[in-house]
Copies of this chain bind each other. A is one copy, B any other.
Amino acid sequence: MEGKRNGEIEKLSQDEMKKILKNTRGKLAMQQQLIKEKKLPVLVLVEGWGAAGKGTLISYLIRDLDPRFFRVIPTKAPTKEEKRKPFLCRHMQNIPEAGQFVFLDAGWMEETVCDMIDGKLKEKELKKRFEEINVFERQLVDNGYLVLKIFVDVSRDIQKERVQKLMDEEDTRWRVGKRDLDQLKERKKYEKAYGSFIGETNSEKAPWHVIDSGEKGLVELQVCHLLVDGIEKAIQQKDIPVVIPENKFSMMPMPKLDHVDLAKELSREEYEEQLNAAQKKLKKLHNKIYNKGIPVIIAYEGWDAAGKGGNIKRLTSALDARGFQVNPIASPDVHEKNRHFLWRFWTRLPKTGHIAIFDRTWYGRVMVERLEGFCSENDWQRAYNEINEFEKMLTDWGAVVVKFWIHIDKETQLKRFHEREATPEKRWKITEEDWRNREKWDQYEIAVDEMIQKTSTEFAPWHIIQSNDKYYARIQAINVVIDAIEQKLKEK
């Protein structure tokens, strides 16, 4: 198998080893405080053979850690509900907050290898799976995570001996699963699958560490050492900007905002007639996507007072209330801010057959967070690609992804702000922040133009909705959604 092997330590005598071990564990305990201070999130993925001692290893690693700052998560086979989300969804859910450890007792490797063994993945799907895992891990590292991947290796003889020992005792018999016995029977097959997984997901930023668990104590020492080392390096490199990769996605040509014609409008009669027809159509399509298990993600961005709320309402009032959810996105809660910026969107994805509407989205990263300095320049520069990769995973999963920029001009916004202030039941909609944002209109326009240019991929292009006339905008948006769903239904 590929992956780094730590050779030096293996040559030490028992006494020397004990000394180093004590020393290393002391260091790890000291580092805890540093991790908290520097807000470093540490993800330790422990994969390996059944009965190789993954649990024992994790128990050892946490022995000196403050239990308030780590979580151990054993990953089981995905549930029915989990299978209705993208593969990475439940793994993304488990990533640590800044300043905390998460130890995963198996994770995306085990799930994938089981799928491989069970013949659940065609070659193309497997390739995509590896790609997604590599993207996932790289994004974590680029966003400041320490990702330490351990594979605990063990010979078939020792594995067999340990499984037997577990089976011999009443208290531990339940620990031996079907999969463990299967591994003993089909050693070669599993070896090949594990090996191929390690080969395909061994990257510079998140390399595999294959550790032999044959000799007692050695595996703990090696991993402890890796952890201490990794934390030290991660903290040193914390604020070094990441090289922004070249864009590799095909883009749709998009106009600049100030070239968009905003004069279009509909009469009230035209509007009502067209809305009625469109809503009827959408209602039928909602049934169909439920039936076929197609997830739909609709993202709304736009100027303040552009009419997002009313637009969303015309869409949702055509939908079965049990099949959609609107996610209003405000500034992140503490536990959200402390994770990868896409985490709070990953955890709000729809199930297959459902519709998730986002009222403001992950594009906050390249708009408000960029302009208000809530993230570093490197963070938002990198985000275009990270977002494209995210949306690629969604469409590859089978989702319809529709993105709206609800557009008005500056005069229309002013008119609507004044209207809101003059109408008692609308006054809550207008805040000081809206006025402050308005002052930055030109800076926002630059950011939005750049965003639209850099994230209008072929699989998830932006739709600029002309919303000086709200009627026209609503019909336009609902028709875009209808078209996108019909297109997807044709492909199926």
Q: Which of B55, B66, B313, B317 contacts A322 (CB 8 A)?
A: B55
CB neighbours (8 Å) of A320 from chain B are 55, 59
Interface-lining segment among A125-133, A283-291, A450-458: A283-291
Q: State the CA gap A58–B321 with chains docked (Å).
A: 7
Q: Known: A72-B321, A105-B322. Contact between A171 and B284, CB under 8 A?
A: yes
B321 contacts A68, C-beta separation under 8 Å: no
How many chain A residues sit at the interface, stated as a range, is 35 or more
Nearest opposing residue in chain B for A80, CB measure? B79
Whether B68 lies near A328 (C-beta < 8 A) is: yes
Copies of this protein in the assembly total 2
Question: Once the chains bind, are B334 and A72 in contact (CB under 8 Å)?
Answer: no
A67 interfacial contact with B, CB 8 Å: yes
In A232-252, which residues have CB < 8 Å from any B CB? Answer: none
- Say whether, besides A33-B428, A334-B333, A425-B30, A321 and B62 are in contact (CB < 8 Å): yes
Closest to A334 in B: B333
> CB < 8 Å: which of B79, B288, B335 contacts A333?
B335
* Residue numbers in B under 8 Å from A151 (CB-CB): none
Whether a CB of chain B sits under 8 angstroms from the CB of A359 is yes
Complex formed: what's the CA distance from A456 to B33 in Å?
A: 37
By a CB distance below 8 angstroms, the chain B residues around A333 are 333-335
Question: Is A357 a contact of B67 with CB atoms below 8 Å?
Answer: yes
- Contact residue among B36, B58, B79, B81 (Cβ-Cβ distance under 8 Å from A428): B36
Partner of A172, one of B72, B287, B326: B287
What residues of chain B lie closer than 8 Å to A357, measured between beta carbons?
Answer: 67
Assess the B72–A322 pair: CB atoms within 8 A: yes
Q: Cβ of A66 and Cβ of B321 under 8 Å apart?
A: no
- Is A139 close to B, CB under 8 A? no
- Cα distance A74–B354 in the bound complex, in angstroms: 12
| A103: Cβ under 8 A from any B Cβ | yes
Q: Does A63 contact B (CB under 8 A)?
A: yes
